Amino acid sequence: MFSRSGCKGGVQGSMLPLQLVIFLFILSGCCSKSWTKFSGMQPPDQSYRTGSDGGYDVYIWNCLNNRRVAIYKFTASFTCREPERQTTECGGVTPIEVELKDAIKRKVPDSLNWPAVSN
């Protein structure tokens, strides 16, 4: 229904921007930090980031408790995925490493360096 000014209005029309803001907020800040989801681990032997606008942050332990461990998380401008963990035998290669073998790798930003665990 149109108001006297000729514009569609009312509560429903004004809720769209609020819903959009809430949706974007949910998408942008819901993912766990890798070290929060997989807590208690010392800093990795190596770490890297792929992509520029979207990519993976990857943390690798060469041999932790007799396993090679890779923890990784995909992030992009307005989305992210929860961190995941893969393991294989020490000296092996995890599936995420195989998937990213040809990707350009760069340093993980300082704000995303794995924190040291205090004993």
> pLDDT truncated to tens, each residue of the chain (119 aa)?
444 444 444 445 555 666 655 555 554 456 888 999 999 999 999 999 999 888 999 999 999 999 999 999 999 888 889 999 999 999 999 999 999 999 999 999 899 999 988 76
Domain membership flag for residue 63: yes
> Does 100 reside within a domain?
yes
What is the distance between the alpha carbons of residues 74 and 103, in angstroms, rounded to a whole number?
14
Whole-angstrom distance, CA of residue 62 vs CA of residue 69: 7
> Within 1-119, where are the H helices?
11-29, 34-37, 95-99
Into how many domains does the chain fold? Answer: 1
Q: What is the CATH number of the domain that holds 61?
A: 2.20.25
Is residue 46 within 8 A of residue 114, CB to CB? The reply is no
